[in-house]
């Protein structure tokens, strides 16, 4: 009997220690990865599984004007939900549009730049399409570039990069990104998620032409998403993407008041491609994909008419 009591004491001590440790993973104010439900119309929200890899993807879909309309793939990034593209449905005037939840937690991540492209490739194969236009905002730009570098995409006619900076394009950019990544990777999963959420809650979002605000679509994604996101710039150092191997016409869209990716980063992006055009938007910030989505759609449709 004494031996049994001793074993029970050890068991409950272990359980208590585990509970205390886990309590630090979800600090006060942090959500437990609950994704807000909203009316995403005129988009349709779907899920698809790549039968080969077994990976599942959540995505938004908007049919184009005809069954054989060219396909556009929209890739968001960072703390945003894929519904940051809600006000981009105007692209369906010409394209059938897919906007996956990207980048998300995925077994395809191995702390390398190339992994972002592998995730995009896996999704594109899952929905079985041949993209004509690939659009990346913020961190989504790196996946768009890697997808093009890793695949012989004969159907691709254009690449659009919004509110982004080329990874390791300059010493200034490398220093900024590495410092941010090092700070993030030192935090526990809960503290990092809680920090992201509190930062988002305290942000003054731009107005939007639609009925949904950015707060309506923000949520803390599951571990290890943020660690995967920050590991790439931290572990890859000053490795650059081979952007000059992309010969497609590239359209760069950037807000003059972007505090996350300052305007000078757009100029770095412009010089990273052989065939690129830069258009700036006065007074717009890092969230302009959401705030002036219809305007950006019109610019894209006109550029790739």
Q: Does residue 302 register a pLDDT over 90? A: yes
Q: What is the mean pLDDT of residues 119-128?
A: 96
pLDDT value for 51:
95
How many Å apart are CA 293 and CA 42, to the nearest integer? Answer: 14
| Cα 17 from Cα 205, distance rounded (Å) | 40
Secondary-structure breakdown of the chain: helix, strand, coil percentages, each rounded to the nearest 5: 45, 15, 40
CA torsion 200→78→40→202, rounded to 10°?
10
- Are 168 and 242 contacting, i.e. CB atoms less than 8 angstroms apart? no
Mean pLDDT of the chain: 84
The stretch 137-144 carries a mean pLDDT of 92
Q: What is the pLDDT of residue 32?
A: 60
**pLDDT per residue over 147-186, tens digit each?**
999 999 999 999 999 999 887 777 777 887 788 888 888 8
Give pLDDT, residue 12: 32
Token pair recorded at residue 55? 């990976």
**CA 259 → CA 125, 179, 195, 286, distances in Å?**
35, 16, 18, 7
- Angle (CA) 304-246-254 rounded to 5° is 55
Q: Which residue has the tokens 């702390």?
A: 111
Task: Report percent pLDDT > 90 for the chain.
Answer: 51
pLDDT, tens digit, 9 for 90 and up, residues 65-123: 999 999 999 999 876 789 999 999 999 999 999 999 987 778 888 888 899 999 999 99
Domains of the chain: 38-303 (3.40.50.1820)
């Amino acid at each position: 009997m004494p031996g049994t009591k001793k074993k029970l004491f050890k068991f409950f001590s272990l359980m208590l220690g585990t509970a205390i440790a886990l309590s630090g993973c979800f600090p006060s104010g942090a959500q437990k990865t609950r994704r807000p439900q909203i009316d995403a119309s005129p988009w349709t929200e779907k899920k698809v599984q790549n039968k080969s890899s077994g990976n599942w993807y959540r995505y938004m879909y908007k049919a184009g004007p005809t069954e054989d309309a060219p396909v556009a793939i929209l890739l968001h990034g960072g703390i945003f939900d894929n519904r940051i593209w809600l006000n981009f449905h105007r692209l369906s005037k010409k394209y059938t549009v897919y906007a996956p939840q990207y980048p998300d937690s995925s077994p395809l991540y191995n702390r390398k730049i190339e992994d972002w492209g592998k995730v995009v490739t896996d999704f594109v194969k899952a929905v079985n399409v041949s993209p004509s236009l690939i659009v990346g905002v913020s961190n989504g730009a790196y996946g768009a570039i890697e997808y093009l570098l890793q695949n012989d995409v004969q159907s691709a006619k254009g690449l659009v990069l919004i509110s982004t900076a080329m990874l390791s394009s300059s010493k200034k950019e490398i220093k900024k990104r590495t410092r941010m990544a090092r700070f993030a990777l030192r935090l526990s999963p809960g503290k990092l998620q809680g920090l992201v959420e509190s930062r988002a809650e305290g942000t003054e979002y731009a107005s939007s032409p639609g009925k949904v605000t950015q707060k309506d679509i923000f949520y803390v994604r599951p571990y290890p998403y943020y660690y995967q996101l920050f590991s790439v710039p931290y572990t890859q150092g000053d490795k650059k993407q081979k952007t000059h191997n992309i010969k497609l016409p590239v359209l760069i869209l950037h807000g003059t008041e972007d505090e996350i990716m300052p305007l000078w980063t757009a100029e770095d992006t412009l010089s990273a491609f052989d065939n690129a055009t830069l258009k700036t938007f006065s007074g717009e910030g890092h969230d302009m994909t959401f705030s002036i989505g219809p305007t950006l759609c019109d610019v894209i449709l006109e550029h790739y008419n």
